[in-house]
């Protein structure tokens, strides 16, 4: 059997050396630093993004993070999350990352931004000012296995139940974001669902 049949041919899209955008609490750029440095210790505040992508029947695409991830490996999280790089807008980074991780395109609607800090044992921390977007797509998902170990669509009701029953298997930012989306942006989810149904 040819060994190359088992090689991972997915593109490597994350690098510890990539330059992230450091910001202050008002999301003003204050400099640039490598991704690895930004996540060491308590973390350095930097700009980030989180995407919530729904299908035509209102289910959310969630992913299980690759076991190769430094922070929260093999945890379930939202559809896609990453960082804009030095010189890149957050909107451009959101579309780039959606394609790189899931091979999806979508119109994205910005909802809000928030600051949080979460530590992963002695390994490092997330310390981010994160932009949150929602979108919908009926395209086929093709995951990048360097980034994602598993994925599925889930109804909002089922997701709420799973988070309540086993919160420890989900990333901290995902739980914070999903709670706020449910609380403050239910009407946006309704509009997204109605628009998706109208297309079907």
Residues acting as catalytic residues: 81, 128
Is residue 189 within 8 A of residue 58, CB to CB? The reply is yes
Provide the 10 A C-beta neighbour count for residue 11: 9
SS (H, E, C) 59-87: CEEEEEECCCCCCCCCCEECCEEECCECC
The two beta strands, 46-54 and 124-136, are: parallel
Token couple for 119: 């530590």
Contacts of 165 (CB under 8 A, 6+ apart): none
> Is 113 buried (19+), middle (13-18) or exposed (0-12) by CB count in 10 A?
middle
d(CA 34, CA 138): 35
User: Which residues, listed in sequence order, are joined to residue 23 by a DSSP beta bridge?
Assistant: 29
Return the closest-CA partner of residue 117 out of 104, 126, 109, 107.
Answer: 126
């Amino acid at each position: 059997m040819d060994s190359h049949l088992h090689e991972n041919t997915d593109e490597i899209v994350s690098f510890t050396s990539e330059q992230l955008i450091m910001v202050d609490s008002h999301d003003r750029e204050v400099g640039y630093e490598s991704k690895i440095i930004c996540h060491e210790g308590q973390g350095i505040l930097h700009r980030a993004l989180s995407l919530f992508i729904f299908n035509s029947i209102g289910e959310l695409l969630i992913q299980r993070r690759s076991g190769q991830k430094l922070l929260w490996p093999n945890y379930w999280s939202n559809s896609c999350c990453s960082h804009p790089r030095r010189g890149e807008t957050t909107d451009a980074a959101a579309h780039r990352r959606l394609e790189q991780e899931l091979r999806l395109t979508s119109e994205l609607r910005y909802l809000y931004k928030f600051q949080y800090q979460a530590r992963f044992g002695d390994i490092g921390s997330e310390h981010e000012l994160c932009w949150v977007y929602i979108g919908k797509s009926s395209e086929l998902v093709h995951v990048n296995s360097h980034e994602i170990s598993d994925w599925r669509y889930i109804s909002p009701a089922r997701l709420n139940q799973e988070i309540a029953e086993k919160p420890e298997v989900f990333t901290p930012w995902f739980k914070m974001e999903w709670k706020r989306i449910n609380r403050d942006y239910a009407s946006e989810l309704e509009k997204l669902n109605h628009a998706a149904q109208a297309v079907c």
